[in-house]
Structure 1
Amino acid sequence: MGDPHRVGVVGLGVISRAYLETLVGHPALNVVAVADLDPSRSAEAAAGIPGAEALSVERLLARPDVRTVLNLTVPSAHAEISLAAIDAGKNVYVEKPLAVTFEDGRSILDRAASAGVRVGCAPDTVLGTGTQTARAAIDGGLIGRPLAASAVMVTPGHERWHPQPDFYYAPGGGPLLDMGPYYVSALVHLLGPVRAVVGAASRLRTERVVGSGPRAGQRIPVTVDSHVTGVIEHVSGALSTITTSFDGVTTTAAPIEVQGESGTLAVPDPNHFDGEVRLFPLGGSGWRTLPAGAGYAGASRGIGLIDLVRADHRRPARAGGEVALHVLDTMTALLRSAAEERRVELSTVVERPVPVPLTRAEDWRAHPGQ
């Protein structure tokens, strides 16, 4: 297998814990350096990772043995850190979204291509058994020709639980750019790339109240739309509807539902790796649960980076930068459509990602992936 692939982590907020739980100790990777704007967080994280060093961002990027930078900064810093890493000759794997603007996302991929380095991007939840089993069912003809899908995410807002929720309501935030990557990525895996969109959006409140932590009770401004809905036209001809909201309370709708000529699939929450995939066939009398038939079993955040390392130029990364840019193009086009009240065609074209065969947890944790 050779030496482990050396990784440096930039950004040690809440999500970093989930990534580190997956990556630390994996035989294909070695987390050798961590960095954060708060040196105490860097020191604390490094203390829990054998052999890791707490560094400044600049020193981490300059470290010659770091081959890939795991960029877990807030969305507004995604482009800055990714571009700096690319300029230092590093591969990059970015927490979603790829960037705040499509132009920044395009710059990341163009700069990486020029530098001969790779880009990967969350979400990698869609590589788990939930979305991948649903994809295998569609590809296997269980619902016939897919005609349409719906994707629904409704919550009252992250300020109720997150102690530092400001960025969710600033440019680069909002329900679509924050949660939309899960749903749009799943739709691309299930139904293929997007051709055009029509969107609409609204903003229920101009302020939010922090609900937990030392800032509880503090009011923060809302400068982005907090309810976004739209129609997504896939290249295949299928039509998806999407609703993402920080203004509602809850919903009884399936996170994703795919309609076909001869059946309907209920797809589990793409914010999770697994979950029940249910099929209602034409002429059937009820729903039946499909056994997990594809995807990384027992996966957790960071599997996308492992997949990128395992791909090693032999195949496209399944959570690759091209897919992430296409997803960002879809989301920003929806927002532009809402603002301009018109149908917007996408500027990117992407291949549907390579499917994930059913891969046992003990295999992806210890042996080369497919």
Structure 2
Amino acid sequence: MSLNTASNPLYIKPEPSRRFSVAPMMDWTDRHCRFFLRLLSRHTLLYTEMVTTGALLNGDAERFLRHDEAEHPLALQLGGSTPADLAACARMAEAAGYDEVNLNVGCPSDRVQNNMIGACLMAHPALVAECVKAMRDAVSIPVTVKHRIGINGRDSYAELCDFVGTVKDAGCQSFTVHARIAILEGLSPKENRDIPPLRYDVAAQLKADFPELEIILNGGIKTLEQCQAHLQVFDGVMLGREAYHNPYVLAEVDQQLFGSTAPVISRAQALAALRPYIAAHIAAGGAMHHITRHILGLGQGFPGARRFRQLLSVDIHKAKDPLALLDQAGELLEGR
């Protein structure tokens, strides 16, 4: 019996590296997006969109949990605040093969606030701790938390330390910190990603005061050079919008941040590797734009990039042969 396979009862699944990850993003990091991003980087930790406990317990759980094995390492982000429900969903995540389950304590939208989900939970550290403990007791995979540095009305550093310390005492060892506060009234989720100022200094102080914890920095990071600088202070970095709008930034992550000696994949190679996945999706009755909407960011910074985006965002909806259109777009990536 192999010592390093799940068939060995003594086998312990390795914890995913959070040195570099792509943030959970609603409407963006679905399974098709994640499959594409995985083609660019072998080591990046990928997160699902936030899935609420209600959606899993009362909805189509198979649809929400569905993923391709190629997506690993892969974490499921949950939204909820009822410990028993979160524990049940964590068990579902583990059974479905996810490598980590993450609790959302950062989303500022009105809709999730009304259901006691997201950033509003920063005002209730004891409840978050109870949720984390219930999830940790239910599964053997890591349970992590993604949060802000505060919310309006509870944005002092002392309150942030109280939150992290309380949740730490429940057994959480990994915190992903979006280095902005969330304004829970008067700002949209989009505005909450831009208007509250970035405070990397606050996140850095948190790492200094909790050196035993894994602290991952999120918010406003755009380049691998910035990632390398932040990794001098933090245990990991998480990219959000930049990774989606400029996905080719992931192509050098393995080499620059993980020490891989594998060759960097080209844009053309990435699209060619994605083609069989697209063809299978179409054969199963799906539409090509379900997938190609996530790859428009490949078309940046070269002659023909605009045409590439037009083919896959406008022309795609009137194409009689979508794969032929894909091949036409692929020709614009040749040598890139």
Scaled by the length of structure 2, the TM-score of the pair is 0.34
Q: Is the strand fraction higher in 1 or 2?
A: 1
Higher relative contact order, structure no. (Cα contacts within 8 Å, ≥ 6 residues apart): 1
Q: Is the helix fraction higher in 1 or 2?
A: 2
Scaled by the length of structure 1, the TM-score of the pair is 0.32
